[in-house]
A and B are shown apart, each in its own frame.
Chain A
Amino acid sequence: MKGPAKTTFLLVGLAVGMFGFAFALVPLYDVFCEITGLNGKTSAQAALVEEVERATQDGDREVTIELLGKVARGLSWEFRPLDAEITVRAGEMKTTAFYARNRSQKTIVAQAVPSVSPGQAAQYLKKLECFCFEQQELAPGADTEMAVSFILDGELPAEINELTLSYTMFLVSDTDEETTADTRLGQAIRYRP
């Protein structure tokens, strides 16, 4: 190949490569955020023993953690923290719990997704156990208390003395199809001009 054919071939390759790059941005974004904790996501797995042992104390430093529980659209659960606010001493294990109740007539599986604000604090919040590590199933009308245990690492930047740990409960199961269909319908009605 020479001349125009070669240039064309190279440029088509560049375009295809950039299309692939757009999708490569997705894992890159996840990796980048996991390393830096920029998007406030806590780790999806329990912290390792070594990690927990490495978590340092920081004198008598106390940090206030505000807890939030939200329910995503389409899920008919009640979901809230038992304590709205707790005080944690850096380097000590703390356990708190959230309350959930299925208000619908069906068995529903849901998943909690955590978020920490400010986002930089996410990587210092080391969870030993969390209901967000797995999906939750509740029978119609059933309720439960779900625990989360964690250690706050004393390495947490000194300017952060208050942080928010929030969970949003999302619908996983398809058994709630009727609700979803209702929501979709509601949406279509709402968007009618």
Chain B
Amino acid sequence: MVAHAETVPKRRHPWIEFAARWLFTTNHKEIGTLYLWLSFLLFFIAGGMAMIIRLELFEPGIQFVDPERYNQVMTLHGLIMVFGAVMPAFVGLANWMIPLMIGAPDMALPRMNNFSFWILPFAFTLLISSLFMEGGAPNFGWTFYAPLSTTYGPPSTDFFILGVHLMGISSIMGAINIIVTIVNLRAPGMTFMKMPLFVWTWFITAFLLIMVMPVLAGVVTMMLTDRHFGTSFFQAAGGGDPVMFQHIFWFFGHPEVYIMILPGFGIASQIIPTFARKKLFGYHSMVYATASIAFLSFIVWGHHMFTTGMPLVGELFFMFATMLIAVPTGVKVFNWVATMWRGSMTFETPMLFAIGFVMMFTIGGFSGLMLALVPADFQYHDTFFVVAHFHYVLYPGAIFGTMAAVYYWLPKWCGHMYDERLGKIHFWSATIAVNVTFFPMHFTGLAGMPRRIPDYSLQFADFNMVSSIGAAFLGATQVLFLYIVIKTIRAGAKAKAQVWEGAEGLEWTVPSPAPLHTFESPPVIAEGQGH
């Protein structure tokens, strides 16, 4: 940006100057910041939708939103959280940290980096604007099963389709950029097996993105032609098959859930060694476990479809393949625990979030194993048990992972230490609230409460009220998080270059706050140094 500022007249209005700076920036740190703020904003928008859902479910009966509106809010909550909150937050972290961690001056394709960010505000404007359209927003759940989204979808479905296309293009460009950067711009001596695990997990995630986002683009294109151009991909009348939609969708959808957790694994693998003051246990097995999870994610999509009339052989295959994923995941959890074993542990906020991540993600993993069992899944399918499961892997998993990363690297980004006392209050209140909110959903789900329905039988009333109270509390804790972040940016104790005494890696060799341009001449990684 410094170079850019010299080429433009100095007399421009400061607002235009400000807008031009952020619109045209190609700096990886600024784009990372943009991604993180956008995801933060969308996290609050989708979180507000969650509040509406929990408000409606506070008591049985229809109180605040009519069922049509409930379906729309529920659909957008899912879509925005997945594509708007979790994914851009991880891309933002990748933009900020990957060049710093591998000793690169910037991302390999800076202009494309700018494009891939600035597509997103348009994508989400399209998606969210559908709420105000005649006929309402998409109302078929984030999985947009045909024929709900084709024959029966509201007119605004086309805005959804275009929005998904834009998000997909953005993700693919971002992923290409990350791989090209990692493959080509590593500092001399930084071999693949010396890369920090956050870089490794993102490298694998980026491959998943490039392989499945085009499949998502394909399936929404088929929807579009089914809706408007007379094709019958998913319409039985014309020789198509609606079940095929589910196969193609989940071929994308299952790798997608690992896209949302693998960078979190990387973050935990950076933070736990720092605060246990030990090297990560089993670095190589971590890399191989991540790669095996990524591979297995392509052959397990059928476990989302056990109740579609799949033959026994298919059910058995998908069940066993799914349970196989527990092995590499178990390796990872074991390694994190083994890293902490006999370490000189301290419990700063990033460490608390990382340990919370390991603990509660594992709970979500266990309920995932229960869902993988075919006979049990017939009972759990489409109940709140599924809701409990994926919120455990996403909230205290992906989102706590992101928060751990923010606390861990925020001093590096803005040069100030965050308020440790407030950080701890944030962690403990969020942890209590997340469990109060989502744990009772296991019980209501096992008892048969269906998901995606605004009303429920009286016997579920107490647990739902507990969930709703927890959700309000949980929403409030994230406002505290916003306050902590803003407070840290504006003021706070000066952070050293080596923010955490136990931390290793190139990002701690640059000053705090990290200057706009770093590693203009590459650092050299000596033999024996690394990860």
Contacts of B176 in A (CB 8 A): 8, 11-12, 15
- Considering the complex, give the chain B residue whose CB is closest to the CB of A110: B237
Contacts of A3 in B (CB 8 A): 184
Q: Answer whether residue A7 sits at the interface, using C-beta atoms and an 8 A cutoff.
A: yes
Q: Which B297-341 residues have C-beta < 8 A from chain A?
A: 309-311, 314
Closest chain A CB from B359 CB (angstroms) = 36
Q: Answer whether residue A43 sits at the interface, using C-beta atoms and an 8 A cutoff.
A: no
Contacts of B213 in A (CB 8 A): 15, 18
Q: Answer whether residue B66 sits at the interface, using C-beta atoms and an 8 A cutoff.
A: yes
Q: How far is the CA of A55 from the CA of B183 in the complex (A)?
A: 59
Q: How far is the CA of A8 from the CA of B172 in the complex (A)?
A: 11
Majority SS of interface residues in chain B?
Answer: helix
Q: How far is the CA of A11 from the CA of B183 in the complex (A)?
A: 12
Q: How far is the CA of A35 from the CA of B239 in the complex (A)?
A: 16
Q: Which A47-97 residues have C-beta < 8 A from chain B?
A: 72-73
In contact, B314 and A38 (Cβ under 8 angstroms): yes
In contact, A21 and B215 (Cβ under 8 angstroms): yes
- Considering the complex, give the chain A residue whose CB is closest to the CB of B154: A191
In contact, B237 and A117 (Cβ under 8 angstroms): no
Contacts A18-B215, A25-B247, A40-B309 given: A11-B210 contact, CB under 8 Å?
A: yes
Closest chain B CB from A30 CB (angstroms) = 8
In contact, B109 and A4 (Cβ under 8 angstroms): yes
- Which of B154, B179, B241 makes the CB contact (< 8 A) with A7? B179
Q: Answer whether residue B248 sits at the interface, using C-beta atoms and an 8 A cutoff.
A: yes
Q: Answer whether residue B243 sits at the interface, using C-beta atoms and an 8 A cutoff.
A: yes
Q: Answer whether residue B190 sits at the interface, using C-beta atoms and an 8 A cutoff.
A: no
Contacts of A16 in B (CB 8 A): 214
- Which of A4, A119, A191 makes the CB contact (< 8 A) with B309? A119
Contacts of A8 in B (CB 8 A): 108-109, 176, 180
B146-176 to A contact mask, C-beta < 8 Å, 1/0: 0000011011000000000000000010011
- Which of A11, A21, A170 makes the CB contact (< 8 A) with B180? A11
Q: Answer whether residue B219 sits at the interface, using C-beta atoms and an 8 A cutoff.
A: yes
In contact, A19 and B215 (Cβ under 8 angstroms): yes
B70-108 to A contact mask, C-beta < 8 Å, 1/0: 001000000000000000000000000000000000001
Interface size on B, residues (CB 8 A): 47
Q: Which B129-148 residues have C-beta < 8 A from chain A?
A: 134-136, 139
Q: Answer whether residue B193 sits at the interface, using C-beta atoms and an 8 A cutoff.
A: no
In contact, A25 and B212 (Cβ under 8 angstroms): no
Q: Answer whether residue B420 sits at the interface, using C-beta atoms and an 8 A cutoff.
A: no
Q: How far is the CA of A87 from the CA of B135 in the complex (A)?
A: 49
Contacts of A40 in B (CB 8 A): 309
Q: How far is the CA of A118 from the CA of B315 in the complex (A)?
A: 15
- Considering the complex, give the chain A residue whose CB is closest to the CB of B241: A39
Closest chain B CB from A115 CB (angstroms) = 8
Contacts A8-B180, A29-B244 given: A188-B155 contact, CB under 8 Å?
A: yes
Q: Answer whether residue B217 sits at the interface, using C-beta atoms and an 8 A cutoff.
A: yes
Contacts A8-B180, A15-B172 given: A22-B69 contact, CB under 8 Å?
A: no
Contacts of B210 in A (CB 8 A): 11, 14-15, 18
Contacts of A115 in B (CB 8 A): 236
Known: A14-B211, A25-B244. 4 other contacts (CB 8 A): A3-B184, A26-B248, A29-B247, A36-B311
Q: Which 9 A-B pairs have the closest CB atoms?
A: A22-B218, A170-B237, A19-B214, A18-B214, A22-B215, A191-B135, A11-B176, A193-B136, A7-B180
Contact surface of A with B, Cβ cutoff 8 Å: 3-4, 7-8, 11-12, 14-19, 21-23, 25-26, 29, 33, 36, 38-41, 44, 72-73, 111, 113, 115, 117-120, 168, 170-172, 187-188, 191-193
